[in-house]
Amino acid sequence: MENHSNFIKTIMIQDLESKKHDEIITRFPPEPNGYLHIGHARAVINNFELAKNFGGKTNLRFDDTNPGKEDVEYVNAIIEDIKWLGYEPNKVLYASDYFEEMYHRAILLIKKGLAYVDDLSAEEISKTRGNLTTPGTESPFRNRSVSENIELFENMNKGMYKEGEKVLRAKIDMASPNMNMRDPVIYRISYAEHHNTGKRWCIYPMYDYAHPLEDAIEGITHSLCSLEFEDHRPLYDWVVRETEMPLIPRQIEFGRLNIENTVMSKRYLKQLVDEKHVIGWDDPRMPTLSGLRRRGYTPEAIRNFILGTGLSRINTTVNTDMLESFLRDDLANNSSKLMGVIDPLKVTVINYDEDKVEAFTVPFDPNKPELGERTVYFSKHLYIEQDDFVEVKPNKHWKRLAKDVEVRLFHTYFIKCVDVIKDETGKVVELLVTYDPETKSGSGFSERKPNGTIHFVSAHQSIKTQFNLFGPLVFDGEAPFIERLNKDSWIKKEGFIEAAFSKDIPTKSFQLIRMGYFNFDKVSTKENMVLNRIVELKSSFQK
């Protein structure tokens, strides 16, 4: 896999050349409080590819310092998603395994006079932090003695106080222009049960204290994170330095990836799941990796997309078209071609025998003989797509069926519509057509040019199928996102697919000719087939 040049790669090259490091070690550090989404894929793929590029290593480390929101369900899903993307972590690690060391490093900070136990409430702390134009004010507890701080911190650890009653704060600078340096809270009390350490701890390190230590403990050389942590970097460096960690990681920020009409924050995705706007984290409309996988996205398409969009220092929003074009490129190379009718219209071939059925042996893809062949059937009773018929041909651009017009049916014969049957509302419910035996596919017939070629299935040799057609789950806009949900994001249709589907087909995803790329949903069975449309064949994007 080509790894496009980017500013982080340049830094790594310099650090190897200057012998600052002799190996590159990166990490992907998700908090296990939700499933990974395609934004995370940017971090995953770049961390792994960058290290791989230099023969280095990448750890998967769960940043599990927040017991209330975390769960093993998420841990397992994240491990599976990373594997699916094609990466094998050097090690799978848990920040919670470092709690002991973090605790001792906090004691060291206290001994150095660089941390203190504060009795102010969270609200009071936030009120006294000041703002960008006003310095913060010092807590009345800021100048407690080292021995008092040690005793109080040990008592916090022993469970002697209620949640919120006391915190440990780094003693840095309440007047710092960087708000993050104004005596940040580094430990808090929580009695929630932790998914890994259970009830062993009742004090938990805060992200800004824990994260740099996690990196330093693992010997991470380059700690990549998204841009919102830029202002936290001075604190990151302070923590590593003042806790006297022997190995010094370097934090480097990159821009977040956003995609239009796509919510990309675990908080919102969790809300969609919890409020049942979707059927789960792996709903095929979700931008989660498990949702995209279920829908039929391939890991190659996602990797090519992420590497193709590059890695820059600014946040970027790309349109869905770009993702879909990488997807189509990959599917085009890895799909067979079959026929399915999503919105069926009955067709009766009036000059064909009721009992006759003809079988045509045709390739799964004429350009890929290695995929093998299948059987396509033709008989008196067919289905075509409703959209492929209008009663009166509107203009010369209409290259489908109409009354008194002749079209080719893929792989079989020309048919001509001679009459229609309507229901009481005037809707056309059945076409009466004639076929011309002279036009049999493969016969070399070339006397007439048909008015286009359309797909079909033979009614008695087809399989009833549910088609899932998807649109964006949410539209971009100003309103709260729940009000921007797309009511038509999941359209279900009952149609038919050709008989070849009753046997194994050679590719996992396939093109239904003219209708898009599809794959079987995870609930699909031989008896009740359910197909997800992964993406349409062409972009419907309009500028």
Q: Which residues bind ligand ATP (CB under 6 A)?
A: 29-31, 39-40, 42-43, 225-226, 256-257, 264-267
Burial of residue 147 (CB within 10 Å: 0-12, 13-18, 19+) is exposed
Nearest residue to Mg ion, using CB? 31
| CA 49, 50, 52, 58 torsion-angle sign | negative
Question: Which neighbouring-strand residues pair with 462?
Answer: 498
Between CA 331 and CA 273 the distance in angstroms is 29
Between CA 72 and CA 90 the distance in angstroms is 20
Identity of the residue, 114 or 264, whose beta carbon is nearer to ligand ATP in the bound complex? 264
Identity of the residue, 5 or 312, whose beta carbon is nearer to ligand ATP in the bound complex? 312
Residues 375-414, one symbol each (x = binds Mg ion by CB under 5 A, - = not), give ----------------------------------------
22-61 binders of Mg ion (CB under 5 A) = 31
Identity of the residue, 45 or 240, whose beta carbon is nearer to ligand ATP in the bound complex? 45
Measuring CA to CA, which residue among 45, 33, 62 is closest to residue 8?
A: 45
DSSP 136-149: ----TTTT--HHHH
- Total chain residues near Mg ion (CB under 5 A): 1
486: three-class secondary structure by DSSP: coil
Q: In angstroms, give the least distance from the CB of 349 to ligand ATP.
A: 54
Element (H, E) at 425: none
Q: In angstroms, give the least distance from the CB of 5 to ligand ATP.
A: 19
Between CA 127 and CA 137 the distance in angstroms is 9
384 and 457 Cβ atoms separated by less than 8 Å: no
Identity of the residue, 31 or 476, whose beta carbon is nearer to Mg ion in the bound complex? 31
Q: In angstroms, give the least distance from the CB of 47 to ligand ATP.
A: 8
The catalytic site residues sit at 31, 256, 266
Q: Which entry of ligand ATP, Mg ion, none binds 225, CB below 5 to 8 A by partner kind? A: ligand ATP
Q: In angstroms, give the least distance from the CB of 34 to ligand ATP.
A: 6
Q: Which entry of Mg ion, ligand ATP, none binds 40, CB below 5 to 8 A by partner kind? A: ligand ATP
Nearest residue to ligand ATP, using CB? 39
Q: Which entry of Mg ion, ligand ATP, none binds 136, CB below 5 to 8 A by partner kind? A: none
Q: In angstroms, give the least distance from the CB of 268 to Mg ion.
A: 13
Q: Which entry of Mg ion, ligand ATP, none binds 380, CB below 5 to 8 A by partner kind? A: none
Element (H, E) at 332: helix 320-333
Q: In angstroms, give the least distance from the CB of 264 to ligand ATP.
A: 5
Identity of the residue, 232 or 374, whose beta carbon is nearer to ligand ATP in the bound complex? 232
449: Cβ–Cβ under 8 A, 6 or more apart, which residues? Answer: none
DSSP 284-328: TTSSBHHHHHHHT--HHHHHHHHHHH---SS-EEE-HHHHHHHHH
Element (H, E) at 470: strand 462-470
Q: Which entry of Mg ion, ligand ATP, none binds 408, CB below 5 to 8 A by partner kind? A: none
Tokens of 448: 């007439």
Between CA 318 and CA 434 the distance in angstroms is 49
Identity of the residue, 31 or 71, whose beta carbon is nearer to Mg ion in the bound complex? 31
Q: Which entry of Mg ion, ligand ATP, none binds 256, CB below 5 to 8 A by partner kind? A: ligand ATP
115-144 binders of Mg ion (CB under 5 A) = none
Q: Which entry of Mg ion, ligand ATP, none binds 180, CB below 5 to 8 A by partner kind? A: none
Identity of the residue, 228 or 404, whose beta carbon is nearer to ligand ATP in the bound complex? 228
Identity of the residue, 31 or 148, whose beta carbon is nearer to Mg ion in the bound complex? 31
Burial of residue 237 (CB within 10 Å: 0-12, 13-18, 19+) is middle
Phi/psi for 504 (5° steps) reads -70, 140
Q: In angstroms, give the least distance from the CB of 247 to ligand ATP.
A: 20
**3-state SS string for 357-421:** EEEEEEECCCCCHHHCEEEEEEECEEEEEHHHEECCCCCCCCCCEEECCEEEECCCCEEEEEEEE
Between CA 236 and CA 24 the distance in angstroms is 19
How many residues belong to the chain? Answer: 543
178: Cβ–Cβ under 8 A, 6 or more apart, which residues? Answer: 231, 234, 235
Q: In angstroms, give the least distance from the CB of 24 to Mg ion.
A: 24
Q: Which entry of ligand ATP, Mg ion, none binds 264, CB below 5 to 8 A by partner kind? A: ligand ATP
Identity of the residue, 61 or 411, whose beta carbon is nearer to ligand ATP in the bound complex? 61
Q: In angstroms, give the least distance from the CB of 31 to Mg ion.
A: 5
Q: Which entry of Mg ion, ligand ATP, none binds 266, CB below 5 to 8 A by partner kind? A: ligand ATP
Interface with Mg ion by CB under 5 A: which residues?
Answer: 31
